[in-house]
Amino acid sequence: MDIKSDIAPSSCARDDRRKVEEMKRSAIIVELAHVGALSDLRDLHAQDARLGVPPHITVLFPFVDLEADGLTPSLRSRLARAISGVTPFEYRLTDTRWFGDTVLWLAPDDPEPFRRLTRAVLAEFPGCRPYDGAHDGLMPHATVGDSGSLAALRRAEEQILPALPLCGMVAHAALIVEADPGTWRRAERFALGRADNLNG
């Protein structure tokens, strides 16, 4: 899978807790900041951008069914522990790649730190499987577009190439949640490299 507005965590008012409890799917992502060209193209060509999902690289999707498990203190603590065990790292998105001829994405020059973060979360939540096991291996990627015609995606590729590389620092991972009618919002951020992290 490939959120901008925040929601209140379950420690806030009862109405906010109820909203959190009504949510369904969730995911762990790394939000990519200061990537204007990517953000603009995603608004035009990425399905999840229209649902509120920001430019990102997925750490784990699906994560937990929040309708069943809720955003419990135990879940927060376990997720914080897993993410804080990974050292912050820099990334560089250096070139374009394709899944078939329907998904245009950007590749990090070194995908291993993202894989390390995914493996850390999976070690704490072994019942989760990336993309429900639909794909072999872990392929960190930042989706540019996955809708519209091939010609439109080719034009998007031409537009993003001059902006590369896109560089940044990964210091947090975000838990995002889906709420009716299918919009995604950030629930919490968790800091990498901090053993005391609960509400990053």
List pLDDT tens digits, range 5-61. 333 233 223 344 444 445 578 999 999 998 999 999 999 999 999 999 999 999 999
Does this model's pTM top 0.75? My answer is yes
Give me the residues paired with residue 56 across strands. 31
Cα separation, 82 vs 14, whole angstroms: 28
CA angle, residues 5, 80, 20, in degrees to nearest 5:
40
List pLDDT tens digits, range 81-116. 999 999 999 999 999 999 999 999 999 999 999 999
